[in-house]
Amino acid sequence: MSMTMTQKILAAHAGLDKVEAGELILVSLDRVLGNDITSPVAIREFNKLGYDAVYDKTKVTMVMDHFAPNKDIKAAIQCKMCRDFCAEKEVVHFYDVGQMGVEHALLPEKGLVVSGDVVIGADSHTCTYGALGAFSTGVGSSDMACGMATGKAWFKVPSAIKFVLHGKLNPHITGKDVILHIIGKIGVDGALYRSMEFTGEGVSELSVTDRLTICNMVIEAGAKNGIFEVDEKTLAYIAERSDRKPVVYKADEDAVYDEVIDIDLSTIKPTVAFPHLPENTHTTDEIDEIKIDQVVIGSCTNGYYENIKEAAEIMRGRKVARGVRAIIIPATQEIYLRAMREGLLEVFIEAGCAVSTPTCGPCLGGHMGILAPHERAVATTNRNFVGRMGDPTSEVYLASPAVAAASAILGRIASADEL
């Protein structure tokens, strides 16, 4: 029987020759991930199960990134609980302040995920790693606990939508514009519990960063996972970071898809998701003047080096508009260090930005950029729900780093072409 990329990975990890959409299977895991918010719940459940050790101390990962550096006593207690658990269980991949980064940027950078892996994480944006040809998906903390204990998880095999990419992106258009365009097209439930599989000659025109951004946000279309066809860029990226050998799965030519959607990358314009859903998209040429109070450039969606560099080049020699707070958050220590060595942080500071250590902070309304009543922010993050970044009356507009940087300079939502 023919299978999609996702179905082949799941079948292999279930020890089966084939699987079908809708089938319930027990799958072996290559990695189990948690953060400082979700891991404490998982740890409590793990302790109830009565296990003395995690299934593999090299395959469990915890990253202190959401409320870290600790924003208050409660956050400090949560991180200490994770710290103590990982020390006791000898968990190898525990990342605390000074070593941590935003989890979904950190794991690929550290070479902890390769093509063909199955990864679960107690965070909905664990779907990011599909950019590397892995099956990765978010789960609840109880599933994380069971995964840490047994190295296995139950899945219902998803059906799939095939996205065939053509053409090449124009300047200042990135993976963020692509995924916002797609979500605007199919809606926030357009891929509900389905795999979003990306293929076509246009894939080669996307950087690995673009692919990470796209897969990061497939959950905003309701998808179970997103996955890119593996190519030379993928393999080169992995080879630089991991000693593990990737396993490449390619969909059968006669694989069954619920839908096939063609995307011409050359037609995509700078795209912004208005409050309060990622599907509420508009291109910048359709937008009347919307003044803003804050810009956030960072997160697991757009805190990568490419993103930081593009924003810096747009801001170079310019100043953030009066009345606008611009916050720059490189997603990992490595990205922060490279940006510092190349003078990008100097560009931001001279422009009037605040530069933060890696953290998820403002994305979930945690810290480092909370919005007051009726304030508006342009953010390179992934969600713009009511109250997502602060007061329930505040508004979050999702955009690419280029749009966010231009907006910070002009004090209103704008594209880089307007500068």
> Over the stretch 4-19, which tens digit does the pLDDT of each residue have?
999 999 999 999 999 9
Q: Which two tokens stand for residue 197?
A: 């599989």
Residues above pLDDT 90, as percent of the chain = 98
Q: What is the pLDDT of residues 93-152, one digit of tens each?
A: 999 999 999 999 999 999 999 999 999 999 999 999 999 999 999 999 999 999 999 999
Q: How confident is the model at residue 196 (pLDDT cuts 50, 70, 90)?
A: very high
pLDDT digits (tens, 9 = 90+) for 287-307: 999 999 999 999 999 999 999
The per-residue pLDDT for 406 is: 98
Token pair in block for residue 144: 């994380």
Question: Mean pLDDT throughout 162-178?
Answer: 97
- State whether residue 221 is helix, strand or coil: helix
pTM for the structure as a whole: 0.95
Please, which contacts does 387-392 make with residues 24 or more away whose CB atoms are closer than 8 Å?
Answer: 388/276, 388/363, 388/364, 389/296, 389/362, 389/363, 389/364, 389/365, 390/365
Taking only the tens place, the pLDDT of each residue in 258-289 is 999 999 999 999 999 999 999 999 999 999 99
- DSSP state, 285? G
Q: In whole angstroms, how large is the CA radius of gyration of the chain?
A: 20
For residue 226, which of 158, 301, 132, 130 has the smallest C-alpha distance?
130
Percent of the chain residues past pLDDT 70, beyond the cut:
100
The segment(s) of the chain belonging to CATH 3.30.499.10 are: 5-265, 273-418
The DSSP element (H or E) to which 309 belongs, if any, is helix 305-315
Question: Over the stretch 208-235, which tens digit does the pLDDT of each residue have?
Answer: 999 999 999 999 999 999 999 999 999 9
Q: Does domain 273-418 have CATH number 3.40.30.110?
A: no
Of the candidate CATH numbers 3.40.50.970, 3.30.499.10, 3.40.50.300, 3.30.70.20, the domain formed by 5-265 belongs to 3.30.499.10
Triad 169, 405, 237: Cα angle to 5°: 50
**pLDDT higher than threshold 80 for residue 81:** yes
Q: Residue 168 class from Cβ within 10 Å (0-12 exposed, 13-18 middle, 19+ buried)?
A: middle
Would you place residue 419 in the very low, low, confident or very high pLDDT band (cuts 50, 70, 90)? confident
DSSP secondary structure string, 78-122?
HHHHHHHHHHHTT-SEEE-TTT---HHHHHHHTT---TT-EEEES
Q: How far apart are CA 390 and CA 365, in angstroms?
A: 5
**Strand intervals (E) in 85-240:** 93-95, 118-121, 135-138, 152-156, 159-166, 194-199, 225-228
> Largest alpha-carbon pair distance within the chain?
62
Quickly tell me which residue has 């342009």 as its tokens. Answer: 378
Q: What is the mean pLDDT of residues 147-166?
A: 98
Q: How many residues does the chain have?
A: 419
Given a cut of 80, whether residue 1 has pLDDT beyond it is: no
pLDDT at 85: 98
Tokens of 224: 């179970």
pLDDT of res. 362: 92
